[in-house]
């Protein structure tokens, strides 16, 4: 955990932004797989972690804005518990570790909240993501789960998003710690990728690296020779020479900060000519995008820049034609790049997505563009110093999409479908790094993970 002052300062700042009432943070409960004693690995709610640091189940906390008081609700282990779990830190000691002096048993929480609501004091809470959290909060507040969404505090969402968006030095340090583990995962994957290996052998080795270092994946990894499937969760293909494998994976840091890196690896150690060309285009788009990031620049403009670089590169190969800016204006790039350029990253890999992506990536003036491709851009607004964002352009040849566009003769003025046909089984290439917005520009976080064609080929042929 961070020192208690960190959590106290975070809560003080939050309290100053909320005008009145009480703020409820419900920690996550254990999540059973098939019965109560056999659970998925515990992951604390990220906002609870941010303000209260305690990475364990069955806790809740309340900030009383009007009285300036903070309470941790939970239960001490009983002797019967200790037989199974071993000695446990007392609740008051846990509270002390994060700078809280007042504790109470969980059973006191409903009456505490009822008292507040009887006095017409607002009870602020964030939108719960998990179903069990929805039920828990609806029970605590005596509100039907179906209407709980109407009670969510928009002012709290906005305050928390603003606060969590700007990363402090100790948070950057955690992200870079996560990236140092991801470096090990990614370089091991490059070395293990060879003809005859099964994707899951590499995915499993990466999981082993993370677990042996005391952490886990920040998200289920994508490791696939079908990188054209944007979120491909399967790892069962046998790799053969001439394939490229997309490895989109990242470890969590010990304090649960995410990392999220993608590399594309030639199976057999050498990219084919087509792969080199497509890879170079994606790398150029990624580096151009990173170079354009600085405070005040809208991320949707960075996204557009990357799209234009991709289309300009594809034009050199003959897959696109016409003016690249006009092609992007017409949406022609989305045949090859169907998603957004990146997202915020922090305690969540898609940071704060659970609070509502539009609160995180958009503003009252910058709305989500409903056009295909643009509609999945998670971040559009201007970036600020100390934001952490991913930059992850890609080129994805999706046969189903090619067939549909071709049949509809979509963007025919900008796409050479005969040439595209020659690439229909190409697969996909994605290159992703985690970027800190600095006062004057941007910095790629973490140890440099091999990225140029020469660097990747060296490791992949080792
Ligand atoms: Mn990502």
Q: pLDDT tens, 32-62? A: 999 999 999 999 999 999 999 999 999 999 9
Instruction: Give yes or no: residues 28 and 124 share one domain.
Output: yes
Structure tokens at 18: 């909320």
Instruction: Give yes or no: residues 149 and 177 share one domain.
Output: no
Q: What pLDDT score does 183 carry?
A: 98
Q: What pLDDT score does 233 carry?
A: 85
Separation of CA 393 and ligand 1 centre (Å): 10
User: Is 451 exposed, middle or buried, given 0-12, 13-18 or 19+ CB atoms closer than 10 A?
Assistant: buried
Domain boundary among 165, 198, 218: 165
pLDDT band at 384 (very low <50, low <70, confident <90, very high): very high
Closest to 126 (Cα-Cα) out of 50, 43, 13, 218? 50
Which neighbouring-strand residues pair with 60? Answer: 26, 73
Instruction: Give yes or no: residues 434 and 312 share one domain.
Output: yes
Separation of CA 219 and ligand 1 centre (Å): 10
Separation of CA 344 and ligand 1 centre (Å): 9
DSSP string covering 417-457: HHHHHTTTT--EEE-BEEEEE-SSSEEE-SSPP--SHHHHH
Instruction: Give yes or no: residues 310 and 283 share one domain.
Output: yes
Separation of CA 179 and ligand 1 centre (Å): 13
Separation of CA 439 and ligand 1 centre (Å): 23
> Are the C-beta atoms of 305 and 293 separated by less than 8 Å?
no
Domain boundary among 112, 140, 165: 165
Separation of CA 345 and ligand 1 centre (Å): 8
Separation of CA 421 and ligand 1 centre (Å): 28
Separation of CA 151 and ligand 1 centre (Å): 31
Alpha helices in 293-409 (DSSP H): 299-317, 324-329, 357-361, 399-408
CA 331 to chain centroid, in Å, comes to 26
Domain boundary among 139, 165, 191: 165
> Are the C-beta atoms of 186 and 261 separated by less than 8 Å?
yes
Number of domains in the chain: 2
Separation of CA 7 and ligand 1 centre (Å): 27
C-beta neighbour count of 382 within 10 angstroms:
17
CA 220 to chain centroid, in Å, comes to 11
Structure tokens at 259: 């990392």
Separation of CA 92 and ligand 1 centre (Å): 38
Separation of CA 429 and ligand 1 centre (Å): 14
Instruction: Give yes or no: residues 251 and 155 share one domain.
Output: no
Separation of CA 248 and ligand 1 centre (Å): 8
Strand, coil or helix: 341: coil
Instruction: Give yes or no: residues 84 and 209 share one domain.
Output: no
For residue 174, what are the contacts with CB-CB under 8 A and spacing of at least 6? Answer: 253, 254, 255, 257
For the stretch 186-213, pLDDT in tens is 999 999 999 999 999 999 999 999 999 9
φ and ψ of 40, to 5 deg: -65, 155
Distance spanning both ends of the chain, measured CA to CA: 39
Instruction: Decide if pLDDT at 462 tops 90.
Output: no
Q: What percent of the chain has pLDDT over 90?
A: 98
Instruction: Give yes or no: residues 298 and 348 share one domain.
Output: yes
Range of the domain at 37: 4-165
Separation of CA 16 and ligand 1 centre (Å): 33
Instruction: Give yes or no: residues 268 and 303 share one domain.
Output: yes
Instruction: Decide if pLDDT at 310 tops 90.
Output: yes
For the stretch 405-449, pLDDT in tens is 999 999 999 999 999 999 999 999 999 999 999 999 999 999 999
Instruction: Determine the Cα–Cα distance for residues 193 and 243; give it in Å rounded to an integer.
Output: 10
Separation of CA 35 and ligand 1 centre (Å): 33
For the stretch 142-175, pLDDT in tens is 999 999 999 999 999 999 999 999 999 999 999 9
Instruction: Give yes or no: residues 21 and 109 share one domain.
Output: yes
Instruction: Give yes or no: residues 112 and 176 share one domain.
Output: no
3-state SS, one letter per residue, for 403-423: HHHHHHCCCCCCECHHHHHCC
Instruction: Give yes or no: residues 160 and 174 share one domain.
Output: no
- Tokens 């505090």 belong to which residue? 153
Indicate the length of the chain as a whole number.
462
CATH number at residue 202: 3.90.230.10
Instruction: Determine the Cα–Cα distance for residues 225 and 427; give it in Å rounded to an integer.
Output: 7
Q: What pLDDT score does 135 carry?
A: 96
Separation of CA 392 and ligand 1 centre (Å): 7
Instruction: Give yes or no: residues 176 and 89 share one domain.
Output: no
Separation of CA 221 and ligand 1 centre (Å): 11
CATH number at residue 77: 3.40.350.10
pLDDT band at 231 (very low <50, low <70, confident <90, very high): confident
Separation of CA 114 and ligand 1 centre (Å): 41
Separation of CA 343 and ligand 1 centre (Å): 7
Q: What pLDDT score does 414 carry?
A: 98
Report the half-sphere exposure of 109 (CA within 13 A, side-chain side): 29
Q: What is the pLDDT of the chain when averaged over all its residues? A: 97
Separation of CA 47 and ligand 1 centre (Å): 20
């Amino acid at each position: 955990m961070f020192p208690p002052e960190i959590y106290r300062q975070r809560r003080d700042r939050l309290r100053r932004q909320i005008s009145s009432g009480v703020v409820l943070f419900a920690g996550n409960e254990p999540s059973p797989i098939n019965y109560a004693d056999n659970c998925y690995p515990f992951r604390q709610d990220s906002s609870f972690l941010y303000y209260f640091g305690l990475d364990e189940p069955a806790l809740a906390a309340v900030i009383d804005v009007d009285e300036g008081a903070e309470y941790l609700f939970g239960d001490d282990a009983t002797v019967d518990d200790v037989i199974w779990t071993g000695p446990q830190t007392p609740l008051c000691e846990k509270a002390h570790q994060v700078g809280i002096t007042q504790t109470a048993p969980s059973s006191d929480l409903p009456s505490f909240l009822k008292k507040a609501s009887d006095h017409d004091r607002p009870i602020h809470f964030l939108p719960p993501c998990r179903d069990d959290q929805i039920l828990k909060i609806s029970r605590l507040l005596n509100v039907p789960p179906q209407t709980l969404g109407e009670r969510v505090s928009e002012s709290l969402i906005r305050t928390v998003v603003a606060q969590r968006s700007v990363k402090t030095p100790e948070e950057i340090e955690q992200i870079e710690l996560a990236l140092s583990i991801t470096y090990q995962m990614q370089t091991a994957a490059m070395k293990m990728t060879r003809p005859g290996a099964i994707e899951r052998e590499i995915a499993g080795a990466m999981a082993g690296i993370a677990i042996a270092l005391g952490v886990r994946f920040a998200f289920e990894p994508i490791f696939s020779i079908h990188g054209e499937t944007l979120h491909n969760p399967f790892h069962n293909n046998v790799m053969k020479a001439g394939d490229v494998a997309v490895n989109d994976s990242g470890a969590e840091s010990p304090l649960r900060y995410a990392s999220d890196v993608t590399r594309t690896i030639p199976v057999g150690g050498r990219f084919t000519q087509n792969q080199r060309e497509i890879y170079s285009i994606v790398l150029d788009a990624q580096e151009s995008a990173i170079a354009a990031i600085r405070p005040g620049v809208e991320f949707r403009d960075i996204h557009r820049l990357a799209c234009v670089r991709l289309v300009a590169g594809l034009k050199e190969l003959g897959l696109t034609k016409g003016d690249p800016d006009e092609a992007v204006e017409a949406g022609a790039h989305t045949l090859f790049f169907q998603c957004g350029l990146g997202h915020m990253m922090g305690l969540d890999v898609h940071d704060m997505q659970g609070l509502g992506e539009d609160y995180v990536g958009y503003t009252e003036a910058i709305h989500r563009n409903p056009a295909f491709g643009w509609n999945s851009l998670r971040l559009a607004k201007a970036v600020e110093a100390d934001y952490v964002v991913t930059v992850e352009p890609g080129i994805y040849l999706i046969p189903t999409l090619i067939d549909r566009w071709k049949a509809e003769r979509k963007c025919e003025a900008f796409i050479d479908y005969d040439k595209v046909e020659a690439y229909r089984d190409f697969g996909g290439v994605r290159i992703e790094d985690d970027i800190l917005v600095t006062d004057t520009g941007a910095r790629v976080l973490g140890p440099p993970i091999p990225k140029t064609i020469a660097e990747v080929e060296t490791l992949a042929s080792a």
